[in-house]
Structure 1
Amino acid sequence: MDEFEPIRSEDGPQAPLPVGSTALETAILARLDDDKAQDIVLIDLKGKSPMADTMIIASGRSHRHVGALADHLQRTLKETGLGKVKVSGLPHCDWVLLDAGDVIVHLFRPEVRAFYNIEKIWSVESGHRVDARA
């Protein structure tokens, strides 16, 4: 698997959903895709960071969409027995962090994601950043 893979762009065609290398990654990616998350990026952290093996970053269209994405991920992971998830940022839903152990998920509203630009920390170019500069 590549270091990162943009999944869905707001303006461009939908790229195929990558197959996660673990059941946890696969469940998270499938749930985000089903819930119409935007600009999904998967970053492989193996050998780069001790905090997790994978980071998944996605955007929701609004506060409500980000909150729903987080809630659905929590429910899906609990129902499938893939682990307990620690969640931060739910009251405001600008940036919600879900820590599922080996996988960390960041859910943003697009403006907040552009402001913090955490993909840059890992040298990841996502589709919406390239389009925004054009």
Structure 2
Amino acid sequence: MDRRGTPGSAFADERSATILDTLAPNLGDGLKKLVMTSLDDDKAEDIVAIDLAGKSAIGDYMIIATGRSSRQVSAMADHICRKLKDQGVDGVTVEGQSRGDWVLIDGGDVIVHLFRPEVREFYGLEKMWGATPPPSRTVRIGGESGADIGAEPTFAHA
């Protein structure tokens, strides 16, 4: 019986190792891009990426985004977790997904906080980490939005 691709098989382990080895020198950057793309695909609002290099040992980046409802927040978390696991990231942990108010995803080198708007405003994580909070408009990656088409994306790299 051919076990190619079966979890735990040598082939699956080799494939995962290859993906991780390819990303290894810039694993945090690769995971950041993966998460940011997923959030953009899911129409997250006010996406902020905070560079944690030299500030904290918890990861390379903290990404904060807003969903319009608890259902959207929970779905965004599910998609991110699935994509991280598909890329061979082990030990992804999630807190708060059942409620969908504030979901924390620990992806190792990338920490993701997903909020409903009022919860995000209440906690103000960007301020705690010295990042600029996003303006009160939504800008999609690539400049497509219903707000200010020519504006820069709302990503902060503190």
Q: Find out whether 1:63 has 2:67 as its counterpart.
A: no
Counterparts of 1:36-55 in structure 2 under 5 Å?
36-55=43-62
Q: Which one has a bigger Cα radius of gyration?
A: 2
For the aligned residue pairs, the C-alpha RMSD in angstroms reads 2.0
Gaps of 5+ in 1: 1-19
Distance (whole Å) between structure 2 residues aligned to residue 83 and residue 110 of structure 1: 30
Which moved further from structure 2: 56-65 or 83-92?
Answer: 83-92
Identity value in percent: 54
Q: Which secondary structure state, in structure 2, belongs to the residue aligned with residue 105 of structure 1? A: strand
Which moved further from structure 2: 75-84 or 104-113?
Answer: 75-84
Q: Find out whether 1:122 has 2:129 as its counterpart.
A: yes
* Per-residue deviation, 1:68: 0.4
- Provide TM-score, normalisation by structure 2: 0.66
Distance (whole Å) between structure 1 residues aligned to residue 42 and residue 78 of structure 2: 11
Q: Provide the aligned length of Structure 1 versus Structure 2.
A: 112
Offset from partner CA, 1:39-86 (integer Å, 9 cap, x none): 000000001111111100000000000000000001111122234310
Distance (whole Å) between structure 2 residues aligned to residue 47 and residue 129 of structure 1: 29
Distance (whole Å) between structure 2 residues aligned to residue 37 and residue 49 of structure 1: 25
Contact conserved, 2:70 with 2:99, CA < 8 A, in 1? yes
Shift in CA distance, 85/121, structure 1 to aligned 2, threshold 3 Å = same
Distance (whole Å) between structure 1 residues aligned to residue 31 and residue 76 of structure 2: 16
* Residue number among 102, 110, 118 corresponding to 2:117 in the alignment: 110
* Residue number among 79, 84, 102 corresponding to 1:95 in the alignment: 102
Gaps of 5+ in 2: 1-26, 138-158
* Per-residue deviation, 1:22: 2.0
**Greater strand content:** 1
* Residue number among 16, 24, 37 corresponding to 1:30 in the alignment: 37
- Provide TM-score, normalisation by structure 1: 0.77
Distance (whole Å) between structure 1 residues aligned to residue 43 and residue 32 of structure 2: 17
* Residue number among 82, 104, 111 corresponding to 1:75 in the alignment: 82
